[in-house]
Amino acid sequence: MSREKTFFTAGPAELYPTFEKHLQQAVNEQVGSISHRSAAYKKIHQHTDEQLRQLFGIPAESAIMFTGSASEIWERILLNLVELESFHLINGSFSKKFYEYAIQLKKYAHKLEKPMGEGFSYDEPEIPEFTELICATHNETSTGVQMREPDIQRLKRSNYGRLLAVDMVSSAPIPDLDYNLIDTAFFSVQKAFGMPAGLGVWIANEACLEKSLKIKASEKENLHIGAHHDLPTLWEMSKKFQTPSTPNVLWIYILGKIAEDMNEIGVENIRKETDAKAKMIYDFLEESVLLHPSVKHVPHRSRTVAVANSVIDSSIIMDKLKAKNMIIGAGYGPNKNSQIRIANFPATSMEKTEQLIEALRQLEP
Amino acid sequence: MSREKTFFTAGPAELYPTFEKHLQQAVNEQVGSISHRSAAYKKIHQHTDEQLRQLFGIPAESAIMFTGSASEIWERILLNLVELESFHLINGSFSKKFYEYAIQLKKYAHKLEKPMGEGFSYDEPEIPEFTELICATHNETSTGVQMREPDIQRLKRSNYGRLLAVDMVSSAPIPDLDYNLIDTAFFSVQKAFGMPAGLGVWIANEACLEKSLKIKASEKENLHIGAHHDLPTLWEMSKKFQTPSTPNVLWIYILGKIAEDMNEIGVENIRKETDAKAKMIYDFLEESVLLHPSVKHVPHRSRTVAVANSVIDSSIIMDKLKAKNMIIGAGYGPNKNSQIRIANFPATSMEKTEQLIEALRQLEP
């Protein structure tokens, strides 16, 4: 079934083309009623685990764990992987929120902050001496800035003694990251997986588990790793294709099905199509009179969320597109009326992207 | 549409009869793609808030907040409402887990523990002097024991200086609690609301907010109220019909619709039908040769989850019912094979309950 509107929003976003089919099948199979302790559930969990492992290239030793959201994972990472000090690369509102979580959790959080629209390359950050965890954001949804995978990974190579966390909330599975190298990464399903919100996915390696067990054993007053979704419990359960408490079973089921669909297409093909669509979008923005790419440094331009400065009030552009049933995002926060954001997720096909650009072109003076 | 199997399980459970209709409508309205910062979302959130407020009789000053699960709320309550000491009434595995969360969060947690199958009346618990929060469980899913609402409320009346939290995970909206009296309560949607799992609902009053702000302001090392879904942030956003991060929009939408359906029936009528079905179930268990009510003290027998001791291996009974497309629950934990659990939620009608009892009757020797 094709619905009226197409969402080029950064998440919640356009639903993956097969979403409804899988949802209907789940309803028919009464997946919403089965016990999360049943063999039927374990089979669903295992399928999703295996499909994600294949799609991302996650080593067998690492764990794939489910939470309520990616924001929850920010907190879980900070509680479980940082006893004292974290370091944050900030280039937008979401990487900043990750940092602010650390402050609220009373960690000694260090930061390196860029002006909005600028990103990080490898050789920039100087890591404070006692940093236990480096937090990098692959894709900043608020500014449309990405940090290239090789730059992220070189950061780890220069800091083997520290853990590295990668926020890939609004890009996974597009970034080609080496999960033998980075320690932990996470995403939510309402972005590039084209699902409704309500599920976060947390990938972590054994070094993370070790660290969380060390903090757990500490006798310091009030120092804890959390009680709900602490890493050791999530880890242990995930290895049995289980969760500590009742999870969003339906979304875990559908995520496995969509990951399977993506594996059938091949993640490399999805990445290529994403790049081709991103090129179309940025090529248009480069030549547009009304809209200009807000990220000047080309390698830092996000492949999955393009942000453009608008010469006119961006709500006018959004309204004109809305009249054609195309929904794009406003600028984030203070840039609400001066920018637009266009998500470039797998759910919006080449054809739909062409239609969007054509509609934008017609607005040009 | 009627699906093959009927789930008399304690959650995930049988879906509410209107669930599929609301799901289809949500899909048609593309609710899974709308921005959680849009006016459309706020309208959905407000509708759900209003319907729940009406259904439960929640005062305007209190907040209704959404999380990923009820287990998450255990943790949020302990972080936000307890600086040092909590007190737990334990009469089964879930109230025990609430207590264990407190220990893991390094609170000084006190407990009063009953043998499995026994419950609490008002005059039993002696509350330790420095208790800040009393944790009671209205319905223990693991043992089928309930604590009567008047007994819970008298506990608050005798302890005005302390906060009272009520776990009503597997009974809401059946208990008739006075939200002008109790401070906080919570549930998840995969029980009596007949929805798939993935959403927790947290009700709290201004005394809770005040306490969390006090703990937040503390300068004690490592003492914090959490960063994701901390009470002050959840509270503030909920009053604007918003959430701090992207919530499970689809489930919030459907919860509002089901609460509206329930309001149309009238919560008193739902409670009466629940009592009538519970009576049928317990009457049968009282006369059965194979099955006996596991809770001896009649006022402590749960209205929403009946637990029975089985003379034979309970898996035999479960399998026989399964062959008739009726799914009941096994005993919890160590009682897996010696007990059965029958959920009595609004989604299983009087007629379906009669069919279940008839099927059980046919197994009698």
- Which chain B residue shows the shortest CA-CA distance from A101? B227
Quote the pLDDT of residue A43: 98
Burial A9-19 (b: 16+ CB within 10 A, else e): bbbbbbbbebb
Whether the ω angle into residue A12 lies within 30 degrees of 0, i.e. cis, is yes
In degrees rounded to 5, what are phi and psi of residue A162?
-115, 160
Query: How does residue B288 score in pLDDT terms, banded at 50, 70 and 90?
Result: very high
Query: How does residue B6 score in pLDDT terms, banded at 50, 70 and 90?
Result: very high
Taking CA B100 as the corner, what is the angle to CA B105 and CA B137, rounded to the nearest 5 degrees? 115
The mean pLDDT of B242-265, rounded to a whole number, is: 98
A89 pLDDT more than 50:
yes
| Single-letter amino acid, residue B141 | T
Query: How does residue B1 score in pLDDT terms, banded at 50, 70 and 90?
Result: very low
CA dist A36 and A41 (Å) reads: 5
Collapse the DSSP code of A74 into the 3-class scheme (helix H, G, I; strand E, B; otherwise coil) and give the result: helix
A162 pLDDT more than 70:
yes
Query: Who contacts A137 (Cβ-Cβ below 8 Å, separation ≥6)?
Result: A89, A91, A92, A94, A95, A98, A147, A166, A167
A95 pLDDT more than 90:
yes
Tell whether B40 is within 8 A of chain A (Cβ). no
- Which chain B residue shows the shortest CA-CA distance from A197? B248
Average pLDDT over chain A, rounded to an integer: 97
| Single-letter amino acid, residue A258 | I
Q: Which of A9, A13, A35 sits opposite B12 (nearest CB)?
A: A35
Q: Which of A12, A14, A104 sits opposite B224 (nearest CB)?
A: A104
How far B239 CA sits from the closest chain A CA (Å)?
A: 20
B3 pLDDT more than 80:
no
Q: What is the DSSP string of A275-298?
A: HHHHHHHHHHHHH-SSEEES--SG
CA dist A73 and A80 (Å) reads: 10
Q: pLDDT by residue (tens digit) across B163-193?
A: 999 999 999 999 999 999 999 999 999 999 9
Question: Choosing among A222, A225, A318, A319, which should be mutated to test the B contact, i.e. which has the most B CBs within 10 A?
Answer: A222
Count Cβ–Cβ pairs < 8 Å, chain A vs chain B.
198
Question: Choosing among A33, A84, A85, which should be mutated to test the B contact, i.e. which has the most B CBs within 10 A?
Answer: A33
Domains, chain B: 6-14+266-361 (3.90.1150.10), 19-264 (3.40.640.10)
Collapse the DSSP code of A328 into the 3-class scheme (helix H, G, I; strand E, B; otherwise coil) and give the result: strand
Of the candidates A37, A151, A196, the residue with the CA atom closest to the CA atom of residue B26: A196
Quote the pLDDT of residue A247: 98
Q: pLDDT by residue (tens digit) across B308-329?
A: 999 999 999 999 999 999 999 9
Residue A263 CB: number of other CB atoms within 10 A? 16
Q: pLDDT by residue (tens digit) across A245-278?
A: 999 999 999 999 999 999 999 999 999 999 999 9
How far A89 CA sits from the closest chain B CA (Å)?
A: 19
Tell whether A187 is within 8 A of chain B (Cβ). no
Show the tokens assigned to A361.
Answer: 């072109």
Query: How does residue B123 score in pLDDT terms, banded at 50, 70 and 90?
Result: confident
Beta strands A139-140 and A133-137 are unpaired
Calculate what percentage of chain B has a pLDDT beyond 90.
98
B2 pLDDT more than 70:
no
Side-by-side strand order, sheet with A339-343: A6-8, A326-330, A339-343, A305-310, A291-293
Q: pLDDT by residue (tens digit) across B34-43?
A: 999 999 999 9
Query: Who contacts A145 (Cβ-Cβ below 8 Å, separation ≥6)?
Result: A91, A92, A114, A117, A118, A119, A139, A295, A300, A301, A302
Determine whether the interchain pair A5/B33 forms a contact, defined as Cβ–Cβ distance below 8 Å: yes
Determine whether the interchain pair B246/A32 forms a contact, defined as Cβ–Cβ distance below 8 Å: no
0.80 exceeded by the pTM? Answer: yes
Q: pLDDT by residue (tens digit) across B185-206?
A: 999 999 999 999 999 999 999 9
Q: Which of A5, A197, A225 sits opposite B246 (nearest CB)?
A: A197
Query: How does residue A2 score in pLDDT terms, banded at 50, 70 and 90?
Result: low
Quote the pLDDT of residue B152: 97
Determine whether the interchain pair B30/A3 forms a contact, defined as Cβ–Cβ distance below 8 Å: yes
